Structure 1
Amino acid sequence: MADSSGRGAGKPPAVGPSTARGARSKGRTQDGSGLDKGNLQSTLLEGHDTALSDLDLSAIHDKSVVRKTPQLKKKSKKAELSSSSAVSEKSPDLLQAMEMMESQTLLLTLLTVKMENGLSAFEEQAEKNLEILCKEKEKLQKKAYELKRRLLLCQKKKELEDFLDVQIEMLSPLEAVASRFREQYKTFAIALDTTRHELPVKSVHLDGDRQLFLDELQQELKTTRHLLGELGIGSSEDNAKAFNVLRELREVIQKKDLELRRSVDQVLELSAEASKEAALINQDVWEEAQGPEALSRWYFNPKEATDGETQEEIRSPLGHDEL
């Protein structure tokens, strides 16, 4: 406002930043194109304020250079000169701003370094804590698996105990039957062991290989022998004694059988002789009762004897029909 009032009063313009700013404002109000160019130039210079110290403005006042350059270069150099003068006028503010920016940049750099150091330390601590947590997690998982396994084993054991209790309850009435079956099976095993060499094997049909069947049978016999040994059945001494007794008994039975057969044959012979004698005696009595005439008809003329007589008239004295 002071600069504009001075120009309106006809005072000569004073040299300083206020006059430069007034000139720029006047140029902007009179020529729009000049406003755009000034804005672009000042913006370009302010954006690249770090390169101001490298500018060499001594060549601008060189007359030889001005004479040799074309008119366009002169205009551009004049614009650069005006802008550089404006920048030089603003240099205290720019330096202060630059110092502030540098201090802020330094503070930001320090804060960044501190944050990075703190972040690295925090990352290391976090990694250590994570490793500790992973180890603790593995321990807890192992412990949980072990507890789960024990729980499953306890449940399985409990189920087996319940199942065994049910089996014992169901099989307890069969204990007496099992003892009786043991005795019967012992007797059967002794008899089978005694007579196994006399069992017929010719008519036995074997499916598949005979040697394989014999091997399987041998394995089953071993299992049976083991089970009999657990039950206390089939000891060698008892089997030997029983075998001797059974052999003696068989010899006695064979002798008695032979004697019985002889006695039966003799009885049959005696019975046949007695029947023959009885028949002869009966025939003699009957012949005496009938007389010689009847005998002559029967023996010499059997047709005549049978024509006039019936079956009832021809009877023996003993009351039997004579055939």
Structure 2
Amino acid sequence: MKVDLIGGWGYNNLGDEAILAGYIELLSDVSEVSVASVDVARTAHAQRPGIRVRPEGRPSRGDAAILCGGGYLNGSWVPEIFGKLRRQRRDMGSAPVRVVSSVEVRGMASGRRARLLRNTLSGSAVSVRDVQSQQELRRLGIESEVMPDAIALLWPYLDRYQTPVPEARGKVLINLLDIGRRPDAGESEVDPTEFIRLADELIDSLGDRAVGLVIGDGDLAFMRRYRHLQLATPRSVTDLVSLIGEADAVLSVRMHPGLIASAMGTPVVAIPYCGKVRPTLQRIGVADSILVELDRSRVDRQLRTVVDRSARWREAHNLKKDWLLARLGMAPSAS
């Protein structure tokens, strides 16, 4: 079977590229996989060698097309969302099997956005990663199932992405964004100003142990305010997983570094900076990694505490894997 993977690839967001890596690992042993990306070179570099990457917006020639997450199906992403949906509609093409897998949908239930999204998803088996997305699609007349975020697909393959990074040993990786300036700032469970005060204090107290983790443009722009903070800028999923696996702990605003840390047993504090964080982590079973109050002593304890969440990740992986393979007409394999 030939499978095309379509999604938010090539946008300089390694969290989304890590989602893609999970699909590639799961499907490459049982199918011929190709990827549609807005930046072929960037996606090819982010993944392990050998994956076929083509420009986004060309009709699928595969037996199956999978439209994957993250969070780009967002009505506030204008005007880009209109061109994105047109390209993805072409990407889906006339593939005999069409699957929409663990997407997040926000602000897409009216106007031209709604028509484009409905046309793009037409004829597909659909899953989403939270109830809010399910409710929004229902307003468009599209039924869906709530499944774990597709980062769960990567869980059993994380060892393949680990290489030694001696310079990360003993470090605490800190990923920050300017939460208060985001369009979804009103969804944050933490006060953006108070959180930055806590982050400032934490970085000062850690000294040379603190390393800023940059996985997107917004991270870099914001963390440059810390003139003495060493920045790590991974360029591939292997770089990202290796850093997280080697570090002592991770505090992350962006969701997927925190998720990867929880999957690897690295102490982690996940920041609920927008409405997607808590339901996504709850669906996987790792909401205990979320920061519950802006208390420095609690943060310090959480950054020192190793929690084995492997059973929860195994369950989320199997649930997501079985759903996807069944929609592709493939028999699930034992994990």
Asked if TM exceeds 0.5, the reply is no
Q: Which has the larger radius of gyration?
A: 1
Which structure has more RCO (C-alpha within 8 Å, separation ≥ 6)? 2
Report the structure, 1 or 2, having the larger strand content: 2
Task: Normalising by structure 2, report the TM-score.
Answer: 0.16
Task: Normalising by structure 1, report the TM-score.
Answer: 0.17
Report the structure, 1 or 2, having the larger helix content: 1
